[in-house]
Amino acid sequence: MGNFHSSKKFNPQRDIADLSGRVAIVTGGNAGIGYYTVKFLAQRGAKVYLAARNESKATGAIVKLEHEGLGSGGTVVFLKLDLSDPRMAKSSAQEFLSKEPRLDILVNNAGMLTDHQLKIRKTNDGILEMMATNYIGPYVFTRTLLDLLVKTAEEPESDVRIVNVNIPVPSYTGLKATWQVSSHLHRLAKPGTDFGSPEIFRDECKEYTVPSFARYGVSKYAMNLWTSGLQRRLDESLTGKRPILVMAVHPGSVNTFAHLLPLPRLFDLLFRTFMVGADEGAATSLFAGASPLVRADPAKYRGEYMLPVGTLTLSAAMRDPEMAGNLWTNTESFLQGLGL
């Protein structure tokens, strides 16, 4: 581990507990942060489902992981997952349920940072592909798995966690500025943004200087509202029981998207001067998903938004129970309209 994450504080190879017998899912695990999240969980003994849309790329990643070495007992299995269609997200979760009797760790890592060629794309359901992939898909995938997560949490010595990853919005103005934008995603939403309106899933954010990044920010704002709302609902339903911990994480400034931008080689060289690699970027996901320190102090971390590698209190706007409740109702209404 490099200086950015400070190996003195947390090193996945040293500080993750033995995960033998545990089952995990990491979405978007074939590349970038997801790849190293899969790698370190498997090296600590977990059976990890690498969930991805492209089977060829996922299979190639698994071959590479096995070549690099998974340690004693760890395995990696492919799970087909397309988050851009909520029906396919549900189908993928159901496929997992048919194979496994438990689920200990769910890392919702996959997502879109920018629209393809910065062009607005909508799904067949009429919503933004960005919103479908970054929020609706993970919501449905997690909702379908929730009963199994609760069942696993009822077992002795269980430690069930849900981790939602928010990749930083690039600002091109340095590490501090990038953190600031990503840590205050609510500022990318228009004042008075109504998460209780179906239009939130279709808003193209055309009034922004970079609409694609604004659409990303709104989708991740929704994910953070969902994170805090899901934690509250689980706490209410699991009163007196070992809690399931739900957390959103900011991996830091990680160079995983230079290839998506104009002049990718130039941006890659630029980003290397103040960003870290994907291996270090996975540290916060791994801390939230598998560090014993989190389970030792659940009140500190539950429903929180983490920076590398610790806790940042969510803004009042992003933990607002009313807003989270409105979003929850709106999402369920939308899914009901799809027969989900």
Cα separations (Å) of 267 from 2, 196, 222, 270? 21, 38, 29, 5
Please state at what angle helix 321-337 crosses helix 211-237, rounded to 10 degrees. 100
Note whether 34 and 5 are within 8 A (CB).
no
Q: 210: Cβ–Cβ under 8 A, 6 or more apart, which residues?
A: none
Which residue among 84, 92, 182, 253 is the active-site one?
182
Distance CA 339, CA 304 (A): 32
Which residue among 220, 228, 253, 305 is the active-site one?
220
182 is a catalytic site residue: yes
* 193 CB neighbour count, 10 Å cutoff: 18
6 is a catalytic site residue: no
220 is a catalytic site residue: yes
Residue type at 2 in one-letter notation: G
Catalytic residue set? 182, 216, 220
